[in-house]
Amino acid sequence: MAKFEIIMPKLGESIIEATITRWVKNVGESVEEDDSLVEIATDKVDSEIPSPVEGKLVKTLFNEGDVVPVGTVIAWIEMDGEEGEKPAYEDVKTDEEAISEKEIPVEAQKQESPEKITNDQENIADFSKSERFYSPLVKSMAKTENISLSELEKITGSGRDNRVTKSDVVAYLDQQKAGGAQIQASTPAKPASAAKMSAPVVSSGEGDQVVEMDRMRKLIADHMVMSKQVSPHVTSFIDADVTHIVNWRNRVKDNFSKREGEKITFTPIFIHAAAQALREFPQINVSLDGYHIIYRKNINIGMATALPSGNLIVPVIRNADQKNLLGVVKTVNDLANRARINKLLPDEIQGGTFTITNFGSFDSLTGTPIINQPQVAILGLGAIRKQPRVIETPEGDLIGIRHIMILSLAYDHRIVDGALGGKYLKRMKELLEGFDPETQI
């Protein structure tokens, strides 16, 4: 019988590991091709690993709750076929050995001396004394690059709960090469953040129901608190007359649905306008790295999407400024539909440079959204309501019924001032109010 390796797949450019949350198949069970084998989770998204072959699951190498690096063998499937001299899964190392061999470069393994092994053992002992979690990959990089535990402890982590990631270590090494070898309190690599406040003690009363947050809600909670601690939020508002847009959509939606087999909503129209405005105001399409401003080349707009579970996910429309309106509509519908059935790929919810959230979906007039780090601004869309408005005409002012909505822009006051935020909102208003009612789609 032939043996087939199941590998922890590449889950995205910046994702180096995933947590096994549940084995769908048990050892000894038969597996059909494309059957779900295991459920996994990253800081970005939950996913499943399907079986690429038909056979029987004969060995699992990790338990539920284990964090596994990308590229690591996690299980073996026995398939029909010629049996080798020795079952391949018997040669598999222990979990710790597998992780170490996958993560330490071959060159580094070849060059290890007895002295280096001794030092590695000492470093492992040092890690056990730390209260901070370090992934096997970070430990391996620290050993290879001779980064002491005391240095690691001073690195500001970009992962969940201040966790140090591969990119944090790489950034630290780059800083060393540039002459900033030490992270000192007197010359911080990044601006000091405000002291973290302790949450008040909360007691439950008789009859209260205490339910632990699910994993996604915990991630959302941590991300929101982190964002408020990192960025001084300011929110500006403007209203816009979107009567032309409402009338145009009402006129084309039925034919569009018959032709394309899907709906056309207001959200893609606003995303299309937001992308155009970002192209005119690139200072908002940025991120901050300490005191350095990163001007993003691409305009990748995330759209906050409510899930049936009550949680939130933010799929990303990449290069939104390069798509026509039909392209944005198609992309928005596809991402929103797959988000609701948990079929998004990890790469589809990262890399955003600006976010839009639609309060109007739930009939809210407006809101003050929280910035989706590491971005510096987020646009809120309010409900569209009929209101009496003054209409200026060559013959004089008139009162008419118009469709009005409120736009809210929350921005990071470290880099975006009120003038810039106001200019962006004003441009959004101009684009929406100037929408061509003869637009073809």
Alpha-carbon span 34 to 32, nearest angstrom: 6
In the set 241, 292, 417, 436, the catalytic residue is 417
The contacts of residue 362 (CB under 8 Å, 6+ apart) are none
Lay out the sheet containing 17-23: strands in order across: 46-50, 36-41, 17-23, 67-69
Q: Is the dihedral of CA 205, 211, 215, 217 positive or negative?
A: negative
CA atoms within 13 A on the CB side of 303: 27
Alpha-carbon span 441 to 439, nearest angstrom: 7
The contacts of residue 322 (CB under 8 Å, 6+ apart) are none
Tell me whether residue 417 is one of the annotated catalytic residues. Answer: yes
CA atoms within 13 A on the CB side of 58: 18
In the set 223, 233, 403, 413, the catalytic residue is 413
Alpha-carbon span 322 to 299, nearest angstrom: 9
- Is the bond into 374 cis (omega within 30 degrees of 0)? yes
Tell me whether residue 413 is one of the annotated catalytic residues. Answer: yes
Q: Which two tokens stand for residue 258?
A: 């018959």
Catalytic center residues: 413, 417
